[in-house]
Structure 1
Amino acid sequence: MASSADTTPLVDHIVILVPHSFLSAPPSWFSDVFHFHSGGRHADGRTENTLVYLPDGAYLEFIAFVPGIDPADRASHHWGSKKEGTVIDWAVTLPSTAEDEAEREKERAAAGDGGELRSEKLFREVQRKVREQNTGIVYGDLRRGGRTKPAGEVLKWSVAFAKREDGETLELGAVPFWCVDITPRRMRVPFETPGNAKHPSGAVGVAKVEVHHESLTTAKSAKGVYDALFEKQTTEGGGWKLSSIAGEKVHSGAAVSLGASDGPARIDISFFTDDDSWAGKSVGGKIDEEHTLTFHLVATSGSK
């Protein structure tokens, strides 16, 4: 059996759905807040993205459906029904060190695309822990995915989404999905490359993920999943501790919390900033004529 440290979730990325025009002609407020990079088109050809790398190792994925996509094809996509201009989901991953990445390269060369990596085996332990909570929510098996970067580099990973055991629909984002790398994570998230994660707003990492459920039943079930995955907070505010690849280097530690929604389910995101002139501000703006998007910035000490 794997140790808890091997299967402790680390925040991987936040998914924000935007119109394709946001990717092709980003609004001025975006560059005033974040330094961003073109991500490329996904393997299924239905979506493209722009990425914002953060110094704590997490990143933001601004994702859009490609122009001219058939409405039925979009509707069949996992996020096809979600509203543009909102945080639609969030992902966690497994801990990874340089040694892990080197071992992954060896495993991949030995096993080929059809072989199973150690990280994929570890995920089965995650599935077991969540299933034993008996909340009615379980994680499906990992399935392979990928993306081709603008320069032609091919990235590969596996993802797994949560579902209800009874077959009923589970609110997207109610619990995080998993993203486990096949190619080295540094290829997908080059946050340590000089300049890649330096932002005008001083943003250094994810401070808080607040998941607001439309259904109290979903909130109760989700709580059991979070109890299985994360360590509970002991500080004021409650919730659970949320770690990241390099968070201890740049901020005081993040958190995830559950709450009720006064309308549709939603996810609110706060970011740490190391620039005091930005701390305490809400940032963002219009993404097109119909949608706006905002985030909150807090000081790295969590005092503002």
Structure 2
Amino acid sequence: MSNTGDVSTRILDHIVHLSPPGSLQETVEAFRALGFTVSPGGTHTDGLTANALVVLADGVYLELIHFTRPPPPGSKHPWAAKQPGWIDFAHLGNAGTPSISATINARAAAEGSDVHYAQEIPGGRTREDGRVLKWLISGIEDAGLRGRLPFFCGDLTPRAWRVPLEPHSNTEHANTAIGVAHVKHLATPEELPAYAKQLTSVLGVSPKESTSTRVVWELENQSSHPGAATRAPVLVVSIPQDEEEQEYIRARGSGIYELGFTVEDSKKEGEGRTPQGRVVWIGAGGS
């Protein structure tokens, strides 16, 4: 299977890390301690959330986000009930034509994968310098799948406004990270087959590896940054392999467990912790 039509649905855009309400600055300092350069973000249009960014040379970024105040009981915000840590991820969308949602829904209907994306809706935020950003969001209708399947963010204003790759110092990190190597999800053995089928419909490409315990898809580099990283990132869904991963599933359910980053300096290889998440650093020549 390969992508059909004029739009790719497997270009990683950003990964979302949630902090407890009012604690964004503490998370910013924690990411700086991990060797990341953190750039200013802004406040979203609804005023409920604000963010800061870690921008990578491959064009992908980390969105460090928090609720500016605790969401009210029964909030319909898709992240209101999420536990802090890696909670969601976005792929690059478009300005609405062709429709990302319609593209995926047609695939899913043909493949019987029980996936349905809602019609695109507008979103945006105001940067600290006052510049107003606008985009279109294509999101999964089933709230229970949010964070397991990507949402799509398509820019209506220049992406460079949303992802500040300039000045160049924004993408220079003390840990020498230059791009995302992998996004690793965990799923129970019972969930894995359906999880994999759904992601295959969303991505529009067959896995490059598929076993009873692990499924892997190759994503695409940002077209404007094809040489920034040594390889395209991969998306991994795996059943738990040790007690720590089992505990993650018990506490949080299926979803994003770990981010891997490609680093230029092999001496920086290793693993670390955000306040609520897991990261690993992989040398540019590693796998």
* TM-score normalised per structure 1: 0.79
User: In the alignment, which of 223, 226, 231 is matched to residue 252 of structure 1?
Assistant: 231
- Corresponding residue of 2:11: 10
Over 3 Å counting, the alpha-carbon distance change for 1:37 and 1:249 in structure 2 is closer
**AA of the residue aligned to 1:17:** L
CA distance in 2 between counterparts of 1:230 and 1:299 reads 29
Pick from 217, 220, 231 the counterpart of residue 243 of structure 1.
220
Show the 5 A alignment for 1:113-132.
Answer: 117=95, 119=97, 121=99, 123-132=101-110
Q: Contact 2:27–2:64 at 8 Å: present in 1 too? A: no
Contact 2:49–2:68 (CA under 8 A) maintained in structure 1:
yes
Shift of 1:209: 1.1
Residue number among 102, 117, 129 corresponding to 1:151 in the alignment: 129
- Find the aligned partners of 1:120 and 1:144 in 2 and give their Cα distance: 16
State the match for 2:81 in structure 1.
Answer: 81
SS in 2 for 1:301: coil
1:25 and 1:233 map into 2 onto residues whose CA distance is: 38
Q: 1:223 aligns with which of 196, 220, 234?
A: 196
CA distance in 2, matches of 1:215, 1:153: 46
Matched residue, 1:59: 61
Q: Which moved more, 1:23-32 or 1:203-212?
A: 23-32
CA RMSD in angstroms, aligned pairs only: 2.5
Deviations 1:252-279 (A, max 9, x none): 2211122235322231211111111112
On the 8 A contact 1:232/1:238 being kept in 2, the answer is no
Which residue number corresponds to residue 153 of structure 2?
179
Aligned length: 267
**Which consecutive aligned stretches of 4+ in structure 1 deviate over 6 angstroms post-superposition?**
none
Deviations 1:45-95 (A, max 9, x none): 11011110011111000110013x45326x3211100111x1001110148
Once the two structures are superposed, the pairs formed by residues 18-29 of structure 1 within 5 Å of their partners are: 18-26=19-27, 28-29=29-30
In structure 2, the residue matched to 1:108 is none
Equivalent-residue separation in structure 2 for 1:123 and 1:27 (angstroms): 33
Long gaps (5+) in structure 1? 96-116
The answer as to whether partners of 2:122 and 2:136 remain within 8 angstroms in 1 is yes
Counterpart of 1:257, as a letter, is V
CA distance in 2, matches of 1:125, 1:205: 28
1:284 corresponds, among 261, 264, 273, to 273
Amino acid at match of 1:276: S
Letter in 2 for 1:294: R
In the superposition, relative to structure 1, how do residues 277 and 29 fare at CA in structure 2: closer, same or farther (>3 Å)? farther
In the TM superposition, what whole-angstrom CA distance separates every residue of 1:218-273 from its partner, at most 9, and x where no partner exists? x3333223223143454797511012312543222211122235322231211111
1:200 aligns with 2:189: no
* Identity score, percent: 27
Note closer, same or farther for the CA distance 1:272–1:123 as it changes in structure 2 (3 Å cut): same
Q: Structure 2-normalised TM-score?
A: 0.83
* Alpha-carbon separation, structure 1, partners of 2:100 and 2:79: 26
Deviations 1:171-207 (A, max 9, x none): 3221111111111111101225311111111111111
Contact 2:96–2:154 at 8 Å: present in 1 too? no
